[in-house]
Amino acid sequence: MKLFYLFIALYCSAAFSLDSVKLKDTIKQGYGYIDLFRAQQSKNNLTASDLEFLRVSSSGNLVFAVDINEAANGTEKASTQGVTVDSVSLIIVRQGIESRYSQFSTPTSSLVARIGETTREFHYTLIGETGSSRITGSGLNDITAAFDSLLTVEVPDSIENADEAYLEVRLMQTNTSLGDPEAFYDYTAGFEDLALVNPSDAQFLADLSPGVDEAPLVVAQSQVTNPVDAWVYYPSSTSYYVVAYEDQYPNRGDYDFNDLVVGYRVGFGMTDTQVTSVIGVGYMIARGASANHNWHLHIPFSEQVSGNALVNLFKPDSTEQIDGYPQLQSIENRLNLKLYENTKHLMKVEGSDFANTLASQTPVKGHKFSFSFDLDNPISFSAIPAAPYDPYLHVLTTGYEIHLSGHLPQLSHSTNSGDVSTDFKDQAGYPYALVFPDQWLPPLEYTDLGDAYDNFVDYTMHSTQEYETWYKNPKQGKTKSISSAFWKW
């Protein structure tokens, strides 16, 4: 028995000491048929025993690193590129008999539509950087410095007696006419290199996740640890809610409705019909206030939730986080996250109290947040509340919370803590918080919302179907032209 355990220990030790190997064959124009016994340099050629070592050390899987090399379509850029995986097969030939293993996974998945179709379905994706900006050294080797994403294939059988071994990969042509995410996750004439990697290098790349934080739809997914079969997004996988506030509550103020403007999206990780994880991403769009605020997102599930939420806060147009982040927030009973703190200090233009609300100002990009939350215990999908949930402002200058109508104050230390009113409107029926689609434009500074949008007053006074789309008709010269293509960097 001791000899048996010694053999296992030596076997695993050899597996972990085996270097990762870059393969000679590549994925070209969306297709690759890769000979696993052919390395880029013949001196590194792998044997069937080597493959078996790597399979055992990776818990019955073969793990491949992929170097993404794509033209910039949609929101792709040098620091974030992506492709969609259509199918993967590991082909093992033993004494002339072929076996195929087609169960695979990647660290990320997204809702995309196939070329010629408009219905989006979940598909695995590969994300990375164009070229390599990582420097070999400080513990990096050629694989971890040059490669990006991971492709894992389940191999339940021994492959030590394999005579031939191939990896067949097909990438999916997406319907790029729909724009993003299809334009981001398409493939072009570029080629993708592959390497067969050991557990150490696989873990390094999994932790690094290059390009993921900037890619659409998968922000924070890499930080989720609970098992997830599919993601459901609100308002959708490609769009955002935009919430805007008048921060002088309970006074009316100048009612320009640009004191803080935030875009946000929420995704729910599903296993069968239960929610196991929640992620979110958002951007500060404009801040036209002398007051200071904190911005919170409360998702009032009908069931109690608990766990730890990881909050990220990125510098504008950067993958670098500000000091103090990422930040772990403990969740007990309810999901209520502080995502922007001291907004006056986060978004500012030199010499002005305002950002992106003056006609003469050149638009600036705001901070981006993301969060991931793994539930200690899954809850039913029916426990998810109706969107757009409860995004609220805590005005530090006055102490008041400002919510969408229908929600109660949440903070024990706010001025209106314990208030049972959920109206958040003035005596004339004008709200202090509103949610819009992501193409909405905020009024210019000191421009009344009713002056910037002609039908807003009629909508407030009558709330009839005739005026429901008032927010689609901004008046020229009265709103700040800052499109979602700019602020959702």
User: What percent of the chain is modeled with pLDDT above 90?
Assistant: 67
- The predicted pLDDT at position 140 comes to 57
The per-residue pLDDT for 297 is 98
How many Å apart are CA 466 and CA 20, to the nearest integer? 64
Q: Which of 11-15, 188-192, 366-370 has the highest mean pLDDT?
A: 366-370
* CB-based contact 173:115 (threshold 8 Å): yes
Mean pLDDT of all residues belonging to the chain = 88
Q: Mean pLDDT, to the nearest integer, of 286-294?
A: 96
Mean pLDDT: which of 11-20, 102-111, 347-356 is highest?
Answer: 347-356
Token pair of 29 as six digits: 């124009």
| Cis geometry, peptide bond prior to residue 250 (ω within 30 degrees of 0) | yes
pLDDT of residue 177: 85
pLDDT at 461: 82
Instruction: Give the pLDDT confidence score for residue 213 in this predicted structure.
Output: 64
Average pLDDT over residues 383-388: 94
Helix (H) or strand (E) holding 336: strand 335-341
Q: Buried b / exposed e across 81-112, counting CB within 10 Å, b at 16+?
A: bbbbbbebbbbbebeeeeeebeebebbbbbbb
Q: Are 108 and 183 in contact (CB under 8 A)?
A: no
Predicted confidence (pLDDT) at residue 184 exceeds the cutoff of 90: no
Q: What integer pLDDT is reported at residue 227 of this predicted model?
A: 87
Single-letter amino acid, residue 220: A
| pLDDT for residue 358 | 96
Per-residue pLDDT reduced to its tens digit, 338-375: 999 999 999 989 889 899 999 999 999 999 999 999 99
pLDDT in tens, 57-95: 999 999 999 999 887 776 677 888 899 999 999 999 999
Distance CA 205, CA 145 (A): 9
Token pair recorded at residue 468: 């429901």
Check residue 210 and give its pLDDT: 84
CA triplet 293, 297, 298: central angle to 5 degrees?
125
Asked if pLDDT for residue 16 goes beyond 50, the answer is: no
- Residue 113's pLDDT band, with cuts at 50, 70 and 90, is confident
122: three-class secondary structure by DSSP: strand
| Domain ranges within the chain, ordered by starting residue | 21-220, 230-487
Q: How confident is the model at residue 7 (pLDDT cuts 50, 70, 90)?
A: very low
Looking at mean pLDDT, say which of 236-245, 330-339, 461-470 comes out highest: 330-339
pLDDT on residue 379: 96
How far is the C-alpha of 245 from the C-alpha of 251, rounded, in Å? 13
Average pLDDT in the 129-148 region?
A: 65
| Burial profile 365-389: b = 16 or more Cβ within 10 angstroms, e = fewer | bbbbbbbbbbbeebbeeeebeeebb
d(CA 3, CA 220): 45
Determine the pLDDT at residue 27.
Answer: 96
Q: What is the DSSP string of 71-118?
A: ---TT-BTTBEEEEEEEEEEEEEETTEEEEE--EE-SEEEEEPBTT--
CA 352 to chain CA centroid, nearest Å: 32
Mean pLDDT of the region 457-463 = 81
Q: Are 29 and 189 in contact (CB under 8 A)?
A: yes
Q: Which residue has the higher pLDDT, 229 or 46?
A: 46
Structure tokens at 150: 């991971």
- 87 or 136, higher pLDDT: 87
